[in-house]
Amino acid sequence: VIQGSGTAEAPTIDLKARNPMTLDLAIRGGTVVTAADTMRCDVGIRDGRIVALGEDVGPAARSIDAAGLLVLPGGIDSHVHLDQFQGEGIVMADGFRSGTVSAAAGGNTTVIPFALQRRGESLRAAVEAYHAKAQGEALVDYAFHLIITDPTPGVLGQELPALVKDGYSSFKVFMTYDDMVLSDRELLDVFAVAKAENALVMVHAEGFDSIRFMADGLEAEGKTAPAFHAAARPETVEREATHRAIALAELVGIPIMVVHVSGRDAIEQIEWARRRGLTVHAETCPQYLVLTAGDLDRPGTEGAKFVCSPPPRDAASQAAVWRALAGGAFQTFSSDHCPFRYDDPAGKTGPAARASFRAVPNGIPGVAARLPILFSEGVVKGRITLQDFVALTATNHARMYGLYPRKGSIAIGADADIALWDPERRVTLTQDLMHHGSDYTPYEGLEVTGWPVTTLVRGRVVFDGGRATAEAGHGIFLPRGASGGL
Ligand code: URP
Ligand code: ZN
Ligand code: ZN
Ligand code: ZN
């Protein structure tokens, strides 16, 4: 499997057969980075786990020379959408196979997509159907969050508590979108179950009625181009919903995770809540660092390539997100990978989408670009430290979502989930490098320094030399425990 790899050496003698305690694999000569430390040491791997860290870990059946490379915990992307229902006639561009190849190409070893309950559907049935989609397809490991769109008494009373106990310990709720929005009362009812079951709620905080009001007004004036997607959802709409979510969570007495925070207004609400002593976690994404609303205003339908919610903002909000990242206000940095095809009626430019921004499927691909963007724009430009980078891309995701200490660090006993990272490689992001199902990347042409050269999941090289090197199905499902918080 390591054949053709630029970094692996072929095994010479079968040391493992001679002594079962021999390492399966040693990663030698690299610089190991964790959320706490940077150290020059080798990593010894046996049976898929890290069993030795040392200046010399001794004989191994095979070795990878990591001289000049950083040895990072594999990225955990706790916010991706794969093969998720987005409306009749709309096709998400990645299922578990291509989505996890793309994840591995970007140095990720675990993803957490969402099992979506459609209204009228049993939550348990939604989870089972989602497992069927993932079975045998994934290259990297995966867990599921739940999306609750129909909190019936049966869902709240029986299904949700049972599912949390089965390892689905986080769920997302939406404060907007026709098919998904929950009323304040429904949010409170879901929050109460989260409290009783010790689960973590992720909130999509944008105000439904405010967006409808704005979008109706824009459409009435004939303003239907993709750029008006951003105009219909200004920061005020996100700020109001963030404030409301925080207040509802305070009423029930639970921590929440505010996902895909886009800019200054929502950050202010989160910081205000923390000053009041409330536990409010927050996530941001690459689109809020390197894209702006101006990208939605590109000629013709090009702007549709950048339509996501909340939309990218302006330079001042980018600066606010960087300040918050560097200051520790965000626990996680995720991609919100939500891939559609551009030049495709089932994607961004179908007939309805051409007629109005309202029908453009919301979401952009980014699971392969997340780590290079944060490393280059953050670490290389001196805005965050290497330790911040590891915390924001791996360790904190494992802690927040109940995967720690099995995942998220380089430590004895942890799964050998590792990204070998060339900190000096200069790369121009292009569609070819993303290995995803979308026919474009919103980050086309962005120049980055730092690149994942080899990705290992439980000790197996799954992506190397620009291609997948393990079989679909190597990735396994991870039941999760309770959030460890931060
Ligand atoms: O536009 C986005 N972000 N689509 C994905 C779904 C979501 O709200 O995260
Ligand atoms: Zn969302
Ligand atoms: Zn999302
Ligand atoms: Zn395998």
Nearest ligand to the C-alpha atom of residue 473:
4
Q: What is the spatial distance between Cα 317 and Cα 22, in angstroms, rounded to a whole number?
A: 52
Q: What is the pLDDT of residues 55-83, one digit of tens each?
A: 999 999 999 999 999 999 999 999 999 99
Q: What is the pLDDT of residues 135-152, one digit of tens each?
A: 999 999 999 999 999 999
pLDDT in the model for residue 401: 98
For atom 9 of ligand 1, which residue has the closest CA?
Answer: 336
Query: In the chain, what's the furthest Cα-to-Cα distance?
Result: 78
Residue 176 CA to ligand 2 centre (angstroms): 9
Q: Please tell me if the CB atom of residue 312 comes closer than 6 angstroms to any atom of ligand 1.
A: no
Q: For residue 462, give every residue at least 6 positions away whose Cβ sits within 8 Å of its Cβ, in sequence order, or none.
A: 104, 109, 139, 140, 455, 456, 468, 469, 470, 474
Whether the pLDDT of residue 16 is over 80: the answer is no
Residue 347 CA to ligand 2 centre (angstroms): 18
Across the chain, what does the average pLDDT equal?
Answer: 96
Q: What is the pTM of this model?
A: 0.96
257 is written with which tokens? 């995770």
Whether the pLDDT of residue 256 is over 60: the answer is yes
Q: Please tell me if the CB atom of residue 285 comes closer than 6 angstroms to any atom of ligand 1.
A: no
pLDDT in the model for residue 346: 97
Residue 340 CA to ligand 2 centre (angstroms): 15
> What Å distances lie between residue 98 and 163, 248, 351, 473, CA to CA?
27, 38, 26, 12
Name the H helices within 85-207. Answer: 96-105, 123-134, 153-154, 160-165, 184-197
Q: Please tell me if the CB atom of residue 81 comes closer than 6 angstroms to any atom of ligand 1.
A: yes
How many other CB atoms sit within 10 Å of the CB of residue 271? 15
Residue 317 CA to ligand 2 centre (angstroms): 19
Residue 291 CA to ligand 2 centre (angstroms): 17
Whether the pLDDT of residue 291 is over 60: the answer is yes
Percent of the chain residues past pLDDT 90, beyond the cut: 95
Q: Please tell me if the CB atom of residue 308 comes closer than 6 angstroms to any atom of ligand 1.
A: yes
pLDDT in the model for residue 485: 86
Residue 66 CA to ligand 2 centre (angstroms): 38
Q: What is the pLDDT of residues 361-416, one digit of tens each?
A: 999 999 999 999 999 999 999 999 999 999 999 999 999 999 999 999 999 999 99
Q: Please tell me if the CB atom of residue 86 comes closer than 6 angstroms to any atom of ligand 1.
A: no
DSSP line for 344-364: STTTTTSHHHHH-GGGSPP-B
Q: Please tell me if the CB atom of residue 204 comes closer than 6 angstroms to any atom of ligand 1.
A: yes
ipTM score for this prediction: 0.94
- Closest residue by Cα to residue 387 from 374, 368, 400: 374
pLDDT in the model for residue 12: 59
Whether the pLDDT of residue 11 is over 60: the answer is no
Which domains does the chain carry? 75-380 (3.20.20.140)
Nearest ligand to the C-alpha atom of residue 1:
4
